[in-house]
Structure 1
């Protein structure tokens, strides 16, 4: 390429960029981009996502996460199943009875081991069968006497084989044979229970983590949807006696690699493989002939891992989960693919796919997450609960088109038609959201103040709409979800309005996640923002939040001086919300993966880890800080998006929690010890540190800072490589844990003070590197579950720092994880992955084109609350304040000269 051509090309690009900057472009945002979260059950509620909800029909607020739903044959009542709770609903009046009542003593809880998915009415419309989940039983419940009258266990011997550690999942009653069909996710099977003899009469092996169960109209064939990807092995030779000595420090392999398929050796341990994601047992639908008790077909529905779909390689399985069966065709919801597979079970073949198409502006992104499904009696219409879109899709079977949407609550899970087909019943996981859970004037409700409890579910009764009403509903759902904006690109603003549309001086992003804090308890005392200082137990001079006995002992107590200083020096939001309730959701959302139906249901059930059980499902990853192969989105999330665009990244601490991993104070390499072998995302595996401790509150955040500063210096300051475009980083100790005075944590606030000092050290260190002049630091929480907030329980911390961030600025613009990811994608010129990225609020107000390169100077911790020397003592380390405050070594001039000459 000659110099003349380069000059012409440069002029062309400059003219093109200038032309773009002078023309308005359309962007998508949520409708609540300028509003604060609120609940208005009679009007429009604003969710943490910035989306609106205004559910159709009549409503009853019920306990959160109603993943099971059954209607009585007489059409008079419904039962919703939650973890450890059932709700009886009178369908005429929508009056509800919760069992157990709030405040019931633990010893008197009827479902103390929890429940999972399965619920079915008997023909008498009085008796109901309930999945017992973790205890491997089916409860028989009398809805008039309001008590359990029997219990049927799946454990025991069938045909000479003994089954133990069963875990009951979905179930169905077969009236023609007076039996129950019950899925056992512990042993990967379906069990037939004869109700006359109360005996288990058959066990049929199915795929992994059987989740959804349906029956043909003639009762001769059962359909099982399996959401599991792998059967996870232990390290070869692991036993209950040697388990602590045989563990490895990290994930053994990347997913769908030669090592994960065939096995490998890690740290001297022989690691079995998990096999191929193309296995028929993985994410599939099995059909069972009930006459001969045999599986006759194994269908791999949806898109398959490795396929190229719309220009991107599929990395996540289809997650088939629910099935509606007609006289000859069955319809399967594939959550990850936003489509429905059609099975022609009479001819034993897959016969097509129905894509869910709602709005051409977002159909190319994933995120509808079809879950519950119902088929009209004439088999002409499907009703599909869209978990990710807060609506029920109405689909014309003949044409395979989505003809409309019905407004639901937040996270619709199940949909059923009334006996006469005239009404729809819809349940939603989170209803209208959480609302405040503390502060002046807040009255504690009977369910408590924890975010997962205060956030009620929703039951709706909606007349089946005619075409005119459906059109109005559809318009409302779209308006609730997204808006198009015509905006003028501003070349001076460091945040492009679309990925790569204009140049930005920001070349490096550090994305930091912390654990479990709300806005008010850390930043609630800051001025010019919507905070409640009475809740600021983790602020500065916050001794007034202590019990009287401690208040006198700790005058002017400072817990989070660095959070307060950084927020005031740079910029923060008082209108930011985590989309998540807890860590298992948060570490999906924040990394660009919307939690699917399996994540939601599995995170809301009581479960006991039995890693040495013969039941393979008992070793399932019950992780909180990483994504399992069952959870992957079709195109993945942040990691995969960066990988597709060849954008460099590196990870400290994210994604290293797996099934029942060990977390002790000596697990400093990664924070974990692993014995159940689970793959890590392939895109992440070779770009993550094996010398940085992820989540483990036994390890001080100060230890992590030593690890981070050392590795950063070695790789990107004194080393030959440049800092990658994105660094993700976890500093988790604001999660808090039990007090440990001997280890430097005399109170709960000590963990937050440890975390605060770590945040100060990160900013202090980074702002003294050569990369600072082109850097953006984003600091947030993975979830808000540990705290309280006077505005909304989901409101949390978002701070941004860097030369191009406004100084002393408070943003009142709505923000959530989608907004953060949009910021990252727009700056790094990476296409959006899902609907929440594409519709996230554009946070241009945080940025300025007049850089201020002033570094951040940390504030040492209040040693009455947290003394880092005490916390590091057990590691034989002290805190070298002189080195820490000096910051990284100055750039090597000779190295910089050579680097410059090479670039020229």
Structure 2
């Protein structure tokens, strides 16, 4: 089997030109969520940039996952599957205009037009239906519905991809909850056969020549082969991790399979059922995960393959005129998180899952009235106030890109490299300074031997540290100030204040993945919106479902492979047991330490930690990497009988202070560092951006009493710990991130920390029965963020400021720098 790297063949001139481009930038001040000017660069909150090619058609909602061209080629239907409105947009391609928005309720991925008749078939997500529309005079009209089962949670089916066999009047549908293939009769619109599969399925395609249907095993690293004459599975082909979208040549001989977790496309010979070639679509050879190769399309002559790299914000282009001997042609820049690519004549169509940029949020949780324009959780369907929620505000776009000439493709490729902060050089050698305790290379020695990584839940910078005049804070939004969080303030004053730190995640579903792997897989990114918007599906994250996990695992897996000792306190735990195998050895987790349970105080968790830690100190067996979960700053809102939000946060703060005090007075302190962050910021009030969050770094090697304004992120903190521990980056994101070496100095100050006492009653409980209490009673606190964050934040605000107070709208900064590159022609 041949393995082809995209980047090796592009040529060193791309890097030289990209470097030259970087010297010619003109700063602008603002960017709207629309198509930018030619060569305009939009910098995203994660440090990556966009220079989207072609024209942009705004879509009506977020996370478009798939599209289907009408038989006459005049229209394209796009299915929007995000946290907001789930619907189908009908686009007039000649006018490049959205002409219809079809409400669906629930939708997920599956979408196809018939070739003989203008019927559109669309997956109804967890409603477990397939809806058939007819295209008539510029409109999609609901014709009828095929039912696979009762809606979630009665039946857990969840149809995903589908395909038509019009000749035999069959519709084939695959699913990701009961893991099955359904063969359906198009005349009766009923399923006639169900075949069980051994893993979650993503989509299916028919061979145009052979009586074969190919099914991508999203959770199984294989392609199943189903014989449509025999009506049974007859074979399978092993591919790479997270196979999803597929394309097949017109002669039926070549099947191209995108592998999202591997940055690759498998080229399969349909006759021999063997992979003849694996195409690496990443920008650099041997890059870590992070390209998220998730869609493929062939040109009409089958000679060119287009590959959508969701997390690289680009298309990779290959010459596949000789399968098995393919060659790279270049890259094309797209919008943010491209999820689907299709060919329309002499144009490429690309759906961008997150649109064109991060942007301001002027209509956040406004308490003045109106109605929500997007769904939250089922527990929150009665609310009637306007807002812009981070999970649904980034409306997708459709890019219409003329198929580029060779010279244009070269220019596009240079832009893509310039947009990408990840390089192989950064992966191998990080930024830093001589003598700093944070190494610049994996394996270099650090005086820090023991790392403690503390995860908390869901607070923004202004909510906690907005009252500190030394930082960029807004005290009007500070509801958990010094009187509630004396230790957070003291740690920021005695060590380093970080006022420009941003979480990479939107919510806890992807937040714990980002915090523990520096990446969220396509399964996580594409599934959490359904769960969070109350459209069915279980909470399949935090290690609880294998298909959601990165190929090489989480930071504990990297420690295990490197021979670095580690121990876990509460993270990735469910009912007292670890959710992932790497933690299940009792030497790797503290069985007495509680996981998520807001009825248990964090000061109790800290006491359990102290007892366990002391026994390890006495045995001289303290692990070099330790994860500690302190979740109670999440709060239980105003739920009657639960601890008040102030008590929860004060308890969390006291636990953190005591933990730092205990470690800092231990024998290992002189070789230790403590890193603290929130898994996500969950849309709380912050005058800069709702991704901005609190973070703390504590060590004898910290520059004491300093303020650091450097832009850091979750990935930055991970990269710093990896360098200390001698671990490689886990993804392209932490490899590209700036390590936090600017917080450290070569000389140590071994003075210990003295925890501040709580100034308020940490045992206080909610006793008032008001509107906030009634609302809180409807929330589900059984899982992290199993409730809508904006309403919870408003409840928390009112609990502190008064029931009649008005919470400031969450702010979503443009967070971009638009730059114009000089034309190199």
TM-score (norm 1): 0.72
Radius of gyration: which is bigger?
Answer: 1
The C-alpha deviation readout for 1:369-409, integer Å capped at 9, x for no partner, is: 21111111211111111122111111222333332111122
Residue 606 of structure 1, CA deviation: 4.1
After TM superposition, list the pairs within 5 Å mapping 1:580-591 onto structure 2. 580-591=505-516
What is residue 518 of structure 1 aligned with on the other side? 460
Any conservation in 2 of the 1:628–1:680 contact (CA below 8 Å)? Answer: no
Q: Structure 1 residue 388 and structure 2 residue 307: aligned?
A: no
Partner of residue 187 from structure 1, selected from 174, 178, 192? 178
Residue 780 of structure 1, CA deviation: 0.6
Residue 733 of structure 1, CA deviation: 1.5
The C-alpha deviation readout for 1:169-194, integer Å capped at 9, x for no partner, is: 11123333343211133332221222
The C-alpha deviation readout for 1:215-259, integer Å capped at 9, x for no partner, is: 22247321101122xxxxxxxxxxxxxxxxxxxxxxxxxxxxxxx
Give the Cα separation in 2 of the matches to 1:216 and 1:129. 19
Change (3 A) 1:37 1:858: farther
What is residue 137 of structure 1 aligned with on the other side? 129
Q: Structure 1 residue 793 and structure 2 residue 732: aligned?
A: no
What is residue 638 of structure 2 aligned with on the other side? 739
Comparing 793-802 with 775-784, which one deviates more in the overlay?
A: 793-802
Change (3 A) 1:517 1:607: closer
Partner of residue 765 from structure 1, selected from 642, 659, 662? 662
Q: Classify the secondary structure of the residue corresponding to 2:294.
A: strand
Q: Structure 1 residue 645 and structure 2 residue 562: aligned?
A: yes
What is residue 5 of structure 2 aligned with on the other side? none
Any conservation in 2 of the 1:72–1:125 contact (CA below 8 Å)? Answer: no
Q: Structure 1 residue 452 and structure 2 residue 454: aligned?
A: no
What is residue 52 of structure 1 aligned with on the other side? 49
What is residue 781 of structure 2 aligned with on the other side? none
Q: Classify the secondary structure of the residue corresponding to 1:336.
A: helix
What is residue 81 of structure 1 aligned with on the other side? 79
Q: Structure 1 residue 624 and structure 2 residue 538: aligned?
A: no
What is residue 431 of structure 1 aligned with on the other side? 355
Change (3 A) 1:442 1:166: closer
Partner of residue 153 from structure 1, selected from 147, 156, 159? 147
Q: Structure 1 residue 473 and structure 2 residue 421: aligned?
A: no
Any conservation in 1 of the 2:583–2:589 contact (CA below 8 Å)? Answer: no
Partner of residue 827 from structure 1, selected from 710, 724, 734? 724
Residue 805 of structure 1, CA deviation: 1.0
Partner of residue 412 from structure 1, selected from 322, 338, 346? 338
Change (3 A) 1:56 1:532: farther
The C-alpha deviation readout for 1:607-636, integer Å capped at 9, x for no partner, is: 9999xxxxxxx9x97333335322333333
Any conservation in 2 of the 1:417–1:425 contact (CA below 8 Å)? Answer: yes
Give the Cα separation in 2 of the matches to 1:607 and 1:526. 34
What is residue 818 of structure 1 aligned with on the other side? 715
What is residue 241 of structure 1 aligned with on the other side? none
What is residue 297 of structure 1 aligned with on the other side? 235
Partner of residue 201 from structure 1, selected from 173, 180, 192? 192
Any conservation in 1 of the 2:365–2:388 contact (CA below 8 Å)? Answer: no
What is residue 464 of structure 1 aligned with on the other side? 403
What is residue 245 of structure 2 aligned with on the other side? 322
Comparing 463-472 with 520-529, which one deviates more in the overlay?
A: 520-529
Q: Classify the secondary structure of the residue corresponding to 1:630.
A: helix
Residue 469 of structure 1, CA deviation: 1.0
Partner of residue 849 from structure 1, selected from 721, 729, 746? 746
Q: Classify the secondary structure of the residue corresponding to 2:759.
A: coil
Give the Cα separation in 2 of the matches to 1:94 and 1:567. 52
Change (3 A) 1:691 1:865: closer
Query: Please, which runs of 5 or more residues in structure 2 have no aligned partner?
Result: 1-18, 375-386, 768-825
Q: Classify the secondary structure of the residue corresponding to 2:573.
A: coil
Give the Cα separation in 1 of the matches to 2:610 and 2:447. 24
Give the Cα separation in 1 of the matches to 2:487 and 2:352. 40
Change (3 A) 1:487 1:126: closer
Change (3 A) 1:442 1:435: farther
The C-alpha deviation readout for 1:291-315, integer Å capped at 9, x for no partner, is: 221212111212xxxxxxxxxxxxx
What is residue 400 of structure 1 aligned with on the other side? 326
Partner of residue 858 from structure 1, selected from 740, 750, 755? 755
Give the Cα separation in 2 of the matches to 1:401 and 1:38. 39
Partner of residue 624 from structure 2, selected from 722, 725, 742? 725
Change (3 A) 1:869 1:818: same
Give the Cα separation in 1 of the matches to 2:319 and 2:303. 6
Q: Structure 1 residue 756 and structure 2 residue 756: aligned?
A: no
What is residue 442 of structure 2 aligned with on the other side? 499
Aligned residues, how many? 705
Change (3 A) 1:862 1:72: farther
What is residue 331 of structure 1 aligned with on the other side? 256
Change (3 A) 1:412 1:166: same
Partner of residue 606 from structure 2, selected from 697, 705, 716? 705
Any conservation in 2 of the 1:571–1:806 contact (CA below 8 Å)? Answer: yes
Any conservation in 2 of the 1:54–1:409 contact (CA below 8 Å)? Answer: yes
Q: Classify the secondary structure of the residue corresponding to 2:665.
A: coil
The C-alpha deviation readout for 1:514-560, integer Å capped at 9, x for no partner, is: 112222222233334333333222324xxxxxxxxxxxxxxxxx332
Residue 126 of structure 1, CA deviation: 5.7
Give the Cα separation in 1 of the matches to 2:139 and 2:671. 68
Any conservation in 1 of the 2:432–2:739 contact (CA below 8 Å)? Answer: no
What is residue 795 of structure 2 aligned with on the other side? none
Change (3 A) 1:702 1:124: farther
The C-alpha deviation readout for 1:734-756, integer Å capped at 9, x for no partner, is: 2222424534x23x343322222
Give the Cα separation in 1 of the matches to 2:261 and 2:71. 33
Give the Cα separation in 2 of the matches to 1:722 and 1:438. 52
What is residue 257 of structure 1 aligned with on the other side? none
Q: Structure 1 residue 285 and structure 2 residue 223: aligned?
A: yes
Any conservation in 1 of the 2:214–2:223 contact (CA below 8 Å)? Answer: yes
Root-mean-square deviation (CA, aligned residues, Å) is: 3.3
Q: Classify the secondary structure of the residue corresponding to 2:462.
A: helix
Any conservation in 1 of the 2:432–2:439 contact (CA below 8 Å)? Answer: yes
Residue 762 of structure 1, CA deviation: 1.6
The C-alpha deviation readout for 1:848-892, integer Å capped at 9, x for no partner, is: 12322232222223325754999xxxxxxxxxxxxxxxxxxxxxx
Change (3 A) 1:36 1:423: closer
Change (3 A) 1:488 1:386: closer
Residue 488 of structure 1, CA deviation: 8.6
Residue 681 of structure 1, CA deviation: 3.3
Residue 794 of structure 1, CA deviation: 2.1
Give the Cα separation in 2 of the matches to 1:132 and 1:344. 33
Give the Cα separation in 2 of the matches to 1:413 and 1:48. 19
Residue 687 of structure 1, CA deviation: 1.0
Change (3 A) 1:142 1:685: farther
Q: Classify the secondary structure of the residue corresponding to 2:392.
A: helix
Any conservation in 2 of the 1:436–1:442 contact (CA below 8 Å)? Answer: no
Q: Classify the secondary structure of the residue corresponding to 1:525.
A: coil
Q: Classify the secondary structure of the residue corresponding to 1:44.
A: strand
TM-score (norm 2): 0.79
